[in-house]
């Protein structure tokens, strides 16, 4: 899971008095809180992590918890590690600890949204977006990309006082943004933002230009960025069209001697850094290019040499279900390997480790063979598929390629071998792209139908290969109140009806918080699902509890609650237990004995 889940889910408990807005909930309408879990993301390859886990679980046991949901990326490929036996030995130790504490153990599988563990096996299994008819011209034995988009005055050399020419938006010229003639990467000028928080009530310091693009092309945006004590909620280089963001990738921010992907910055000072992100134009002929900061609190940021280039082969995917074709004007294809050399991105999915992708490297060139029919100066058209990078490196997996499901079967078998868990948790959450591949568009009317088919098949695998153990799933991708709607991130068309593929036996871990929490809980309850509540998420424990107890009023089938931290912060473990069930459990370990009024 990732940057996410800001507010969560809840639970009300039988025979307990719960108050929200001073209202008492009738105990006779509330289910028993039989499952009281904690969530943990932990690398089981590290020996020192086992005593850490044990110490946390001992605390949890005393506070009344009785289950652990654990994730580890290596659950997807531990058997292929150099130290596979070491990982397996630690897994066995973990299982012994949970059994000794009488803890239910559930493990995460099928990570389609943050798919590193699946893509580790085959980096070409990433979810693909299409490039259609990218023009190339033969020159000196190579196919050179034609220019199909231009950013005007991206070096900010042309300006009127502090306003850059040719841009449609520049926040607060002369008070929050300035043409800098003293500090620049190249030429004689750059664009500097400072005092943004004072000059703009939203803390926005942006520059934007609407440009013409060719539909269904992959482009790379590049720019140089420099900062001095910059603090901002968001620093972005992105493209938008018709209110839809086409680019979700974070920028590279220095962290000591290395760079890491980050959206926000705190007191950042750095020399010029080249930023590089990609986007697909989809069916758009115009896009708005942005560079800037949002929610700035202080400091300065400079931009220079903002530019765009066609990059159809950046992270190009090569597998049987994703064709690559080069054709002439009449649509006649040329033969790969005979008239042009085999095309592959050598850096695909290997930076910095297998299953991890970047956009800083140079894409491959296409070389012509000696007997190629493509002549000097001739224009041809390339169609192919590329992957999409979201946020801090998240890449999704194909939702329908047959090889993916074979890997899912393998993961269940190997997880069962190493941990013999009490249940399997399908990690179908925040799947940010999908529904564009031929096998997906040809086989399903909508992405909702595609996702429904995928989750049905995954449940069948988990149930059969896992020996009939309980199967769980996150709520968001199957919830019309959350992510299951039209124009969700870079998912094709609509995710409506994705929920139709959920077997009623699947237990839903609900994390649709806020004003829609009650609607979400009722939606899954009406479909007959048992639900658990993913609560807390590193916020205010009391406030989160009050929100969810109100949302869960009179909702049947709520089977449990989970202490869910994305920061691996267990400082509130006991406080959470005290608020939710009084911090104690009955001797059989299934139901809390009391709950205090708030």
- 521 with 567, same domain: the answer is yes
Give the CA angle between residues 440, 212, 214 to the nearest 5°.
35
Chosen domain end from 273, 291, 310: 310
- Let me know if 49 is exposed, middle or buried by CB neighbors in 10 A (0-12, 13-18, 19+): middle
Tell me the pLDDT band of 598, cut-offs 50, 70 and 90: very low
Specify if 60 maps to a domain: yes
Residue pointed to by tokens 């110490």: 55
Model confidence at 588: pLDDT above 50: no
Cβ-in-10-Å burial (0-12, 13-18, 19+) of 164 comes to buried
Tokens of 299: 């400091």
**Residues 239, 117: one domain?**
no
Same domain, 250 and 299: yes
Give the CA dihedral 208, 214, 219, 222, nearest 10 degrees: -40
The CATH number given to whatever domain includes residue 222 is 2.60.120.260
| Mean local confidence (pLDDT), 505-511 | 98
What pLDDT, on a 0 to 100 scale, did the predictor assign at position 255? 85
Spatial CA neighbour of 56 closest among 46, 45, 70? 70
Say what the pLDDT of residue 164 is. Answer: 98
Q: Which positions ≥6 away from 253 have C-beta within 8 Å?
A: 235, 259, 260, 261, 262, 265, 268, 270
Mean pLDDT of 302-322: 98
* Confidence grade of residue 256 (pLDDT, cut at 50, 70, 90): confident
Three-state DSSP at 442 gives helix
What distances in angstroms separate CA 374 from CA 190, 381, 477, one per listed residue? 42, 11, 46
Cross-sheet strand order for the sheet of 325-327: 325-327, 379-386, 129-139, 142-145, 366-367
Peptide bond preceding 352: is omega within 30 degrees of 0, i.e. cis? yes
**Residue 344 CA to its chain's centroid (Å):** 25
What is the distance between the alpha carbons of residues 516 and 531, in angstroms, rounded to a whole number?
16
- Whether 344 maps to a domain, the answer reads no
Q: Phi, psi (5° rounding) for residue 477?
A: -80, -5
Q: For residue 590, tell me if it sits in a domain.
A: no
DSSP, collapsed to helix, strand or coil, labels residue 507 as strand
**CA 289, CA 151: separation in Å to the nearest integer?**
8
- Map tokens 């926000």 to a residue: 264
Query: What average pLDDT does this structure show over 548-573?
Result: 95
In the predicted structure, residue 556 carries a pLDDT above the cut 50: yes
Domain edge (last residue) among 286, 310, 334: 310
The reply to whether 480 falls in a domain is yes
Q: Per residue in 44-71, pLDDT tens?
A: 999 999 999 999 999 999 999 999 999 9
Split at pLDDT 50, 70, 90, the class of 586 is very low
276 and 220 in a common domain: yes
Residue 543, Cβ neighbours under 10 Å: how many? 10
Domain for residue 341, yes or no?
Answer: no
Same domain, 164 and 304: yes
Residue 116 CA to residue 356 CA, distance in Å, equals 7
Q: Can you tell me the mean pLDDT for 458-475?
A: 97
573-581 vs 49-63: helix crossing angle, rounded to 10: 30
pTM of the model: 0.91
Q: Is the pLDDT of residue 6 over 80?
A: no
65 and 171 share one domain: no
Same domain flag for 174 and 36: no
Total domains in the chain come to 2
Confidence at 589, pLDDT banded by 50, 70, 90: very low
Say what the pLDDT of residue 186 is.
Answer: 96
Lowest mean pLDDT segment, chosen from 17-21, 214-218, 317-321: 17-21
Are residues 228 and 301 both part of a single domain? yes
3-state SS record for 25-88: CCHHHCCCCCEEEEEEECCCCCCCHHHHHHHHHHHHHHHCCCEEEEECHHHHCHHHCCCHHHHH
Structure tokens at 149: 């988009």
Structure tokens at 41: 């993301």
Whole-angstrom CA distances from 267 to 233, 258, 270, 578 are 11, 17, 10, 38
Residue 124 in contact with residue 449, Cβ under 8 Å? no
Measured CA to CA, the distance from residue 537 to residue 514 in angstroms comes to 13
Within a domain: residue 228? yes
294/233 same-domain check: yes
Contact 370, 296 (CB under 8 A): no
Same domain, 567 and 418: yes
pLDDT attached to residue 12:
35
Tokens at residue 261, please?
């992907």
524-531 own/partner pairs: CB under 8 Å, 24+ apart? 524/475, 524/479, 525/555, 525/556, 525/557, 525/558, 527/499, 527/502, 528/504, 528/557, 529/502, 529/504, 529/557, 530/557, 530/558, 530/559, 531/9, 531/475, 531/507, 531/555, 531/557, 531/558, 531/559
pLDDT score of 28 more than 80: no
CB 356 within 8 A of CB 246: no
* Range scoring the smallest mean pLDDT among 8-22, 220-234, 322-336, 365-379: 8-22
Identify which of 586, 546, 587, 544 has the alpha carbon closest to the alpha carbon of residue 563. Answer: 544
CATH number at residue 43: 3.20.20.80
**Mean pLDDT on 409-420:** 98
Residue 275 confidence (pLDDT):
98
Q: What tokens were used for 218? A: 């992959």
Q: Give me the sign of the Cα torsion angle 394, 517, 108, 48.
A: positive
Model pLDDT, residue 583: 82
Q: Which residues pair with 109 in a beta bridge?
A: 426
317 belongs to a structural domain: no
Say if residue 375's pLDDT is above 90: yes
* pLDDT greater than 60 at residue 354: yes
Do both 551 and 403 map to the same domain?
yes
Our CA dihedral for 200, 203, 205, 208, rounded to 10 degrees, sits at -90
For 241, the domain range is 159-310
Percent of the chain with pLDDT over 90: 90
Question: Is the domain of 565 the same as that of 422?
Answer: yes
Which is nearest to 482 in space by CA: 429, 527, 433, 531?
Answer: 429
Q: What is the pLDDT of residue 257?
A: 82
**Would 132 be classed as within a structural domain?**
no
Per-residue model confidence (pLDDT) at position 584: 65
Burial class from Cβ neighbours inside 10 Å (0-12, 13-18, 19+) for residue 245 reads middle
Helix (H, G, I), strand (E, B) or coil at 306: strand
- Say whether pLDDT at 326 is over 80: yes
């Amino acid at each position: 899971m990732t940057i996410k889940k800001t507010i969560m889910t809840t639970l009300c408990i039988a025979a307990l008095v719960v108050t929200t807005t001073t209202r008492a909930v009738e105990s006779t309408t509330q289910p028993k809180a039989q499952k009281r879990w904690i969530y943990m993301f932990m690398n089981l390859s590290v020996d020192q992590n086992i005593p850490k886990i044990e110490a946390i679980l001992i605390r949890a046991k005393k506070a009344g918890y009785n289950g652990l949901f654990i994730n580890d990326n290596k659950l997807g490929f531990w058997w292929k590690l150099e130290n596979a036996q070491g990982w397996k030995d630690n897994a066995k130790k973990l299982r012994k600890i949970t059994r000794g504490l009488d803890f239910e153990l559930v493990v995460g599988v099928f990570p389609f949204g943050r798919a590193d563990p699946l893509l580790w096996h085959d980096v070409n299994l990433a979810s693909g977006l299409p490039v259609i008819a990218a023009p190339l011209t033969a020159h000196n034995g190579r196919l050179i990309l034609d220019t199909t988009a231009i950013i005007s005055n991206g070096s900010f050399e042309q300006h009127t006082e502090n306003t850059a020419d040719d841009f449609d938006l520049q926040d607060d010229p002369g008070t929050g943004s300035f043409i800098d003639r003293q500090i620049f990467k190249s030429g004689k000028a750059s664009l500097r933002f400072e005092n943004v928080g004072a000059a703009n009530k939203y803390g926005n310091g942006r520059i934007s230009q609407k440009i013409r693009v060719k539909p269904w092309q992959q482009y790379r945006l590049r720019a140089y960025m420099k900062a001095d004590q910059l603090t901002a909620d968001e620093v972005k280089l992105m493209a938008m069209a018709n209110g839809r963001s086409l680019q979700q990738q974070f920028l590279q921010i220095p962290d000591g001697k290395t760079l890491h992907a980050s959206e926000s910055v705190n007191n950042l000072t750095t020399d010029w850094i080249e930023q590089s992100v990609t986007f697909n134009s989809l069916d758009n002929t115009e896009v708005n290019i942005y560079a800037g900061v949002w929610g700035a609190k202080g400091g300065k940021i400079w931009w220079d040499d903002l530019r765009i280039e066609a990059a159809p082969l950046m992270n190009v995917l090569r597998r049987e279900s994703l064709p690559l074709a080069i054709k002439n004007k009449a649509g006649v294809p040329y033969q790969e390997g005979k008239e042009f050399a085999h095309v592959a991105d050598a850096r695909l999915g290997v930076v910095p480790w297998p299953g991890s992708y970047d956009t800083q490297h140079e894409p491959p060139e296409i070389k012509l063979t000696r007997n190629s029919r493509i002549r000097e100066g001739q224009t041809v058209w390339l169609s192919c598929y590329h992957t999409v990078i979201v946020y801090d490196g998240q890449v999704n997996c194909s939702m329908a390629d047959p090889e993916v499901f074979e890997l899912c079967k393998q993961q269940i078998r190997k997880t069962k071998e190493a941990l013999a868990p009490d249940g399997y948790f399908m990690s179908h959450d925040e799947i940010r792209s999908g529904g564009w591949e031929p096998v997906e568009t040809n086989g399903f009317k909508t992405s909702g139908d595609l996702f429904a088919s995928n989750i049905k098949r995954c449940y069948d695998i988990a149930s059969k290969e896992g020996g009939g153990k309980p199967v769980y799933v996150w709520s968001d991708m199957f919830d019309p109140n959350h992510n299951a709607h039209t124009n969700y991130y870079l998912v094709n068309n609509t995710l409506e009806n994705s929920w139709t593929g959920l077997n009623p036996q699947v237990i839903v871990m609900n994390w649709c918080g806020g004003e829609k929490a009650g609607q979400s809980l009722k939606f899954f309850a009406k479909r007959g699902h048992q639900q658990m509540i993913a609560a807390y998420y590193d916020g205010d424990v009391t406030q989160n509890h009050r929100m969810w107890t109100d949302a869960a009023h009179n909702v049947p089938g709520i089977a449990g609650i989970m202490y869910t931290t994305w920061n691996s912060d267990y400082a509130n473990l006991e406080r959470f237990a005290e608020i939710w069930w009084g911090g104690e459990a009955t001797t059989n370990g299934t139901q809390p004995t009391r709950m205090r009024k708030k």
